[in-house]
Amino acid sequence: MLLNIPYKKYEPASEIMTYFLGPATVALAVPLYRQRKIISAYAVPALFGLVTGIVSTIISAVFIAYLLNLSDLILVSLTIKSITIPVASEVARIIGADSILVAAFVMITGMLGAMIGPFLLNTMKIHDPFSRGLAIGTIAHGIGTAEAAREGELQGAVSGAAMGMAAIITSLFLPIILPVFL
């Protein structure tokens, strides 16, 4: 806004990033396969935590939008900030969000989650690898999952699974619930 650069100028860069994020997401399959027994053993509590995290991210986005008196377009674009860009781009088309804003919000959320997430989890004394991976993957998608994988294979695998499930659940749930907030 300060430099008066239109959003459309950023579109080519977001398409390039989207292209490379797809293969990076697929690369998460190896640790996920290795940790499949642990992940399936905790599937029910993980699903509860996942849904709670998804609902929290959507409600926080709506709260921020209302608090800052943002337009409906920005509110809608902000609600999908916690799912990976390839899926967020498709969901943006379905719910009428601005794809450029969505890409920016997703990247900012991922970076903040990767930078601050581990610190917050340490501060709250959450050291369980499964819980850490679930929290970071649910909220900070691919960038957060890369950070979780640096902590350990289990954290990375759980984070990758959480990222994928969060994308699926959000893409199914958001178009139904979003009209309530508009």
Structure tokens at 94: 């379905």
Q: What is the pLDDT of residues 131-166, one digit of tens each?
A: 999 999 999 988 899 999 999 999 999 999 999 899
Does 32 map to a domain? no
Does 151 map to a domain? yes
What is the residue range of 169's domain?
A: 42-181
Q: Are 163 and 145 in contact (CB under 8 A)?
A: yes
Provide the sign of the torsion angle of the four alpha carbons 159, 165, 168, 170, taken in this order.
negative
Question: How far is the C-alpha of 28 from the C-alpha of 159, rounded, in Å?
Answer: 9
Of 94, 166, 107, 175, nearest in space to 133 by CA: 166
Does 119 map to a domain? yes
Does 27 map to a domain? no
Average the pLDDT over 92-104 and give the result: 93
The total of structural domains in the chain comes to 1
Does 7 map to a domain? no
Residue 120: pLDDT over 90: yes
SS (H, E, C) 138-171: HHHHHHHHHHHHHHCHHHHHHHHHHHHHHHHHHH
Residue 21: pLDDT over 70: no
Q: What band does 26 get if pLDDT is binned at 50, 70 and 90?
A: low
Q: Are 174 and 46 in contact (CB under 8 A)?
A: no
Does 81 map to a domain? yes
Does 72 map to a domain? yes
Q: Which residues contact 94 (CB under 8 A, 6 or more apart)?
A: 171, 175
Does 14 map to a domain? no
Beta strands in 22-81 (DSSP E): none
